[in-house]
Structure 1
């Protein structure tokens, strides 16, 4: 049992779970627009997500050499490097314009983690995009929406029409909703200078805004030119599941409540589409 828990913790801490969620969202986009499974791009997104997330999460920690951190951190670093190599190999098989689009998000990810901004913007010593008051959730939502909607479509030269724009807005909304349980959980740890949504308006109002965003996500589906009963049904189910997890989120939540169950919603979403 202890071994299985260690494997599961590695699955979460090494960002495999979140990368799988990003992978599923990109695949959902292909299915929604009736595009064949793009193996190279989807695998690239998966390995790039692991590389990017581990870079952001462990860049600061890697500067320290505390013995209690060394072993698991070295394993994750080695795993991340392997994923980086695979990501580079897959990148060589993508179109040039796709790589330009990816480069923009790579720069954003780099600035998100690397200290570079004036100290007066912060309460602590970190000087990166993730520390700017109120910006974190929107940066993550922008990157996820762009990578999982625009990237799969421009790689196959699909037109950016009204339906694509609405899907992009929906995806942005979904990621914000998924981030809210994390922000509620981290209230006890986050610096006040981060100005997260729960810090600014409280948990109750945060959940209210999340519910309103969930309703907006669902009703945007009806403004698309191509309406699908299956898509509407799946969107309704996902909206209900997202909002239930948000409503029951609390500061002292279970260890895996957000990091596994909330972050696993895109995986459940894809499974619903494939089943239907």
Structure 2
């Protein structure tokens, strides 16, 4: 029973959605923006809707009459999340809805074949990881600023760049794991650089991730410490990444790093 519940937790994208919400909460804390709970719900249910659409739309189309029971449950769950997402959409400022719509276009282009040779953004050579990093960074950094009416400032752009580097780093263990499955046409980072080269590339990005914190006009000791700690943890997970990983190495532990980052920052802000 617990195993089935845990599998549903992962397969229905609740885990990754919590991670995205935590990244969003970090932005509110780092940029000293007033936290809006209805916006976090908007992000949470929107992430489940978008992520499950990308992950399961093709499967549902191909096997609609013979869907596995678990997939049917996930589809129903996703529909409920979509309707809840629509409800929280009515509580958001127009600027948020416009920006969310732009991000939604990227999600559609990522999932639906619109380019030559029946390809989508995911199928374009070397594009996949950067599209995901751009969308996640936009949703978790730029959109929270719009939600509170904040202007685009220097620290916001640094936060976006820092988040962009972080998302790529935490995606690399997935890219390494999928090396034996991905078509060569995808041109993923491990396909281009190899496993060792990908880890070196990730280590460089972690360096940028940490350095960026010191370039901000306004930061704090808890923020600096949390970035350094999380950067080191991300480096350890990246260093230990293998093509043949444990079942939950990437899908649970690596995806939990943003949650740990938010918890670390929150605890440090209380203690310091």
Shorter chain as normaliser: what TM range?
A: over 0.9
Structure 2 gap segments, 5+ residues each:
none
Which residue of structure 1 aligns with residue 75 of structure 2?
A: 77
Shift of 1:37: 2.0
Q: Of 151, 154, 161, which aligns to 1:159?
A: 151
| Distance in structure 2 (CA, Å) of the matches to 1:46 and 1:227 | 26
Which residue of structure 2 aligns with residue 270 of structure 1?
A: 262
Partner deviation per Cα, 1:125-177 (whole Å, 9 max, x = no partner): x5211111110000000000000000001111112111111010000000000
Question: Is it true that 1:229 corresponds to 2:221 in the alignment?
Answer: yes
Matched ranges for 1:142-157 at <5 A? 142-157=134-149
TM-score, normalization by structure 2: 0.96
Spell out structure 1 runs of 4+ moving beyond 6 A: none
Structure 1 gap segments, 5+ residues each:
120-125
Partner deviation per Cα, 1:206-229 (whole Å, 9 max, x = no partner): 000100110111011111111311
Matched ranges for 1:61-140 at <5 A? 61-65=59-63, 69-119=67-117, 127-140=119-132
Shift of 1:68: 7.1
Which residue of structure 1 aligns with residue 206 of structure 2?
A: 214
Partner deviation per Cα, 1:180-217 (whole Å, 9 max, x = no partner): 00000000100000000000110001000100110111
Moved more, 137-146 or 93-102: 93-102
Moved more, 60-69 or 140-149: 60-69
Q: How many residues align?
A: 268
| Distance in structure 1 (CA, Å) of the matches to 2:241 and 2:67 | 29
Matched ranges for 1:176-215 at <5 A? 176-215=168-207
Which residue of structure 2 aligns with residue 30 of structure 1?
A: 28
TM-score, normalization by structure 1: 0.95
Root-mean-square deviation over aligned CA pairs? 1.2
Matched ranges for 1:160-175 at <5 A? 160-175=152-167
| Distance in structure 1 (CA, Å) of the matches to 2:218 and 2:205 | 22
Shift of 1:67: 7.8
Paired residue secondary structure (2:47) = helix
Shift of 1:69: 4.2
Paired residue secondary structure (2:68) = helix
| Distance in structure 1 (CA, Å) of the matches to 2:170 and 2:219 | 25
